[in-house]
Amino acid sequence: LRKAIIIGRTNVGKSMFMVNFAEYLGLKKIFLKVEYPDGKILNREMSLEIARSHLSSNSPYKTQSLQSIEVKIPVYKGRKEICIYDSSGLADGIHPDIVVREGIVQTLESLNTADIILHIIDLNSIEIDNSSSVSEIDRQIIRYGKTRTGYLFIANKIDLDKDFKGYMYLKEIFPNTYIVPISALNKEGFNEVKSFVIKSL
Ligand SMILES: Nc1nc2c(ncn2[C@@H]2O[C@H](COP(=O)(O)OP(=O)(O)O)[C@@H](O)[C@H]2O)c(=O)[nH]1
Ligand SMILES: [Mg+2]
């Protein structure tokens, strides 16, 4: 089974993207597999509404372990099953909480075995003409992405980005990186992501 992993800082909309993208691809229900850093695995079934409200929130580090869902994606002559992993957020420096640290280690380890890496940044956190508003961890992931196939840089919350100013600024500071603007909330830009995933399978 091909693996796609969603990574990025906390609160950028990773969990929201996973649930809404799964719905966009035709899922009517979420069968979530949660893998804890200690190896324990839990399977949970929930409606899309419950998944949205339980998995996505504005409290940081809501997602503390790897969680995944299997979705079928339409490809040439049929459908292919892929597994989409939602991960706990990455942060600069060393987080004081051990549970958070373990989650981060788990996220980084899973990068090696991923076929597709969907790296999400929050446009709402970008300040125009302040290049340090793009964190060091995001810059590192972009650099790492260049060494890999199947890497996509996604700029989320375009619905909050007035006149696409944040998106234009990102394009300016990363001129050699393909950036896909989306709204995970409103399911905008999903066709671009879907095409990329299909192309990478
Ligand atoms: N306006 C807007 N809010 C979003 C979007 N995507 C996610 N959010 C909000 O951002 C917050 C963090 O989302 P979440 O999925 O938990 O982020 P995660 O920590 O990266 O998994 C929640 O309050 C979401 O409702 C988006 O496209 N637009
Ligand atoms: Mg999350």
Contact 150, 116 (CB under 8 A): yes
Cα-to-centroid distance, 181 and ligand 1 (Å): 14
- Res 104: pLDDT: 84
What digits encode the pLDDT tens for the residues 128-183? Answer: 999 999 999 999 999 999 999 999 999 999 999 999 999 999 999 999 999 999 99
pLDDT confidence of 59, banded at 50, 70, 90? confident
Q: Name the one residue in this structure whose structure tokens are 């879907």.
A: 194
| Torsional sign, CA 156, 111, 62, 89 | negative
- Res 60: pLDDT: 63
- Res 61: pLDDT: 54
What digits encode the pLDDT tens for the residues 75-107? Answer: 888 899 999 999 888 877 788 888 888 888 888
What digits encode the pLDDT tens for the residues 142-153? Answer: 999 999 999 999
- Res 132: pLDDT: 94
Residue 52 has pLDDT above 60, yes or no: yes
Ligand sitting nearest the alpha carbon of 159: 1
Q: Which residues line ligand 1 (CB under 6 A)?
A: 8, 10-16, 56-58, 62-63, 89, 156-157, 159-160, 183-185
Q: For the chain, what is the mean pLDDT?
A: 92
At 161, the amino acid letter reads D
- Give Cα separations from 171 to 74, 125, 139, 174, 196 (angstroms): 30, 15, 13, 5, 19
- Res 90: pLDDT: 85
**Which comes out higher in pLDDT, residue 74 or 118?**
118
Q: What is the pTM of this model?
A: 0.94
Q: Name the one residue in this structure whose structure tokens are 């999400």.
A: 120
Residue 116 has pLDDT above 90, yes or no: yes
Q: Of 24, 37, 40, nearest to 63 (Cα)?
A: 37
Closest C-alpha to ligand 1, atom 25: 57
Distance, in Å, from the CA atom of 62 to the CA atom of 117, rounded to the nearest integer, reads: 21
Contact 55, 63 (CB under 8 A): yes
For ion ligand 2, residues whose CB falls within 5 Å: 14-15, 63
